[in-house]
C-alpha cells in the first residue's frame, strides 16, 4: 500500500477554519463506488456502512462482502455495531491497516439493532461506551488512528452531555451528534442540543441531520459551532452538494455511471443511486419511465437520450 498523501483526520480538524465534510454511514449506499463519487465533489471523509463487529470477526465471508476499499478511498472511517469491548477492538485491528479510524454506532434507532444491544440503546450505557473506546485505544498502536462515536440525543440533554464527557475522558477522538432522540424520525433537528454538546467538550463535534443544500451546511455551522457536518440523504439526492451545487449536475451523473460500471456495481444499487440523483431534476412522467428500466444499457441509453452526454454541458 502506498504512503498516504494527506494529513491525518485529526490534523484536518486542527487545520483552522475549514469545516470538515463527511459522508454518513448508510446501509446499502455508502459503499466504495459512492464514496469514490462524493470524494470528487469536496467530501473530506467517508464512512463505510455500519458493519456488525461480531459477524465481521467471526466470518471471512462477512469481511469480504462488508468491507471493500482501494488506495484512493481515504480518509476512511469504518463504522461498527458492537456491544462488547473486545469484539470491537478485534474488528478494529482487522481494518486498521486499511482505514483511518473506527466509529462505534450509538445512534441507529432501528428495532432490530436496539433489540440486539446495538445502536441507540448504547447512549443509555455510558460506562460500556467508555470501555469500548478504551479497548480500541489500547489495542491499536497507531496514534493517528481515530476512535469516534456517533450518537443520538436524550430527551434529558444532561444525560447526553454526561455520555459525551465520559467518552472524551476515555479517549474518544470526536463525536458525531444526530440531533434527534431515538424516538424521533422526521421531527426538526435539535441544533441547540448539538451546540450544548459542543460547548461541553473540548474534542471535535460533528453535526448531523437534515442537510440538503450547501446553505444548510453554512447555517448549521453558525448555529452549532460544530467542527464538521455529516450528510446522508442530502448526498444521495445530490452527491455534489459539498461542491456547492443546488442539484446533481449532469457531470456528476456521468461520473457515477463511469465509477459504478468500472467497479462492477450491481444493477439495483447503480440504478437506485441514479433514482435519488435525478429525483429533483426530472418530471413525474420521466421518473416513472426511468424507475422502470431494468438494465445498465437501458439506463445509459435513457440518460444519453434525455440529458445528453456530459461533454454537451461542460464544453
CB 50 within 8 A of CB 79: yes
Backbone angles phi, psi at 230, to 5 degrees: -110, 135
Q: How far is CA 270 from the centre of its chain?
A: 18
Name 296's Cβ contacts closer than 8 Å, sequence gap at least 6.
261, 267, 270
Distance CA 69, CA 47 (A): 11
Helix and strand element counts for the chain (H, E): 16, 9
| Catalytic residue list | 108
Nearest Cα neighbor of 44 from 15, 65, 68, 81 is 15
**Kind of pairing between the strands at 76-81 and 45-47:** parallel
**To which H or E segment does residue 164 belong?**
helix 157-170
| Per-position DSSP letters for 24-89, written without gaps between them | PP-TTTSSHHHHHHHHTTT--EEEPPPEEHHHHHH-HHHHHHH----TT--SEEEEEE-SSHHHHH
Contact 54, 285 (CB under 8 A): no
Cell of 186: 422526521
Amino acid at each position: 500500500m502506498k504512503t498516504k498523501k494527506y494529513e491525518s483526520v485529526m490534523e484536518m480538524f486542527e487545520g483552522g477554519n475549514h469545516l470538515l465534510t463527511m459522508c454518513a454511514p448508510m446501509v446499502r449506499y455508502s459503499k466504495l463506488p459512492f464514496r469514490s463519487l462524493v470524494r470528487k465533489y469536496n467530501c473530506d471523509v467517508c464512512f463505510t456502512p455500519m458493519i456488525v463487529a461480531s459477524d465481521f470477526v467471526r466470518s471471512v465471508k462477512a469481511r469480504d462482502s462488508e468491507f471493500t476499499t482501494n488506495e484512493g478511498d481515504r480518509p476512511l472511517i469504518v463504522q461498527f455495531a458492537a456491544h462488547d469491548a473486545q469484539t470491537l477492538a478485534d474488528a478494529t485491528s482487522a481494518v486498521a491497516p486499511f482505514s483511518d479510524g473506527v466509529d462505534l454506532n450509538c445512534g441507529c434507532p432501528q428495532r432490530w439493532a436496539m433489540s440486539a444491544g446495538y445502536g441507540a440503546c448504547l447512549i443509555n450505557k455510558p460506562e460500556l461506551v467508555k470501555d469500548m473506546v478504551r479497548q480500541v485505544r489500547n489495542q491499536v498502536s497507531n496514534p493517528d488512528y481515530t476512535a469516534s462515536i456517533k450518537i443520538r440525543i436524550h430527551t434529558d440533554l444532561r444525560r447526553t452531555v454526561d455520555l459525551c464527557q465520559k467518552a472524551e475522558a476515555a479517549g474518544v477522538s470526536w463525536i458525531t451528534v444526530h440531533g434527534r432522540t431515538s424516538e424521533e424520525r422526521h421531527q426538526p433537528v435539535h441544533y441547540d442540543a448539538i451546540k450544548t454538546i459542543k460547548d461541553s467538550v473540548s474534542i471535535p463535534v460533528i453535526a448531523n441531520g437534515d442537510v440538503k443544500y450547501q446553505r444548510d451546511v453554512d447555517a448549521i455551522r453558525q448555529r452549532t459551532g460544530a467542527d464538521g457536518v455529516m450528510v446522508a440523504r442530502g448526498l444521495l439526492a445530490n452527491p455534489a452538494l459539498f461542491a456547492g451545487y443546488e442539484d446533481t449536475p449532469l457531470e456528476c451523473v456521468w461520473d457515477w455511471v463511469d465509477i459504478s460500471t468500472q467497479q462492477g456495481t450491481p444493477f439495483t444499487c447503480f440504478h437506485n443511486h441514479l433514482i435519488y440523483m435525478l429525483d429533483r431534476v426530472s418530471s413525474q412522467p420521466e421518473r416513472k419511465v426511468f424507475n422502470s428500466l431494468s438494465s445498465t444499457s437501458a439506463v445509459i441509453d435513457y440518460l444519453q437520450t434525455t440529458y445528453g452526454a456530459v461533454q454537451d454541458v461542460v464544453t
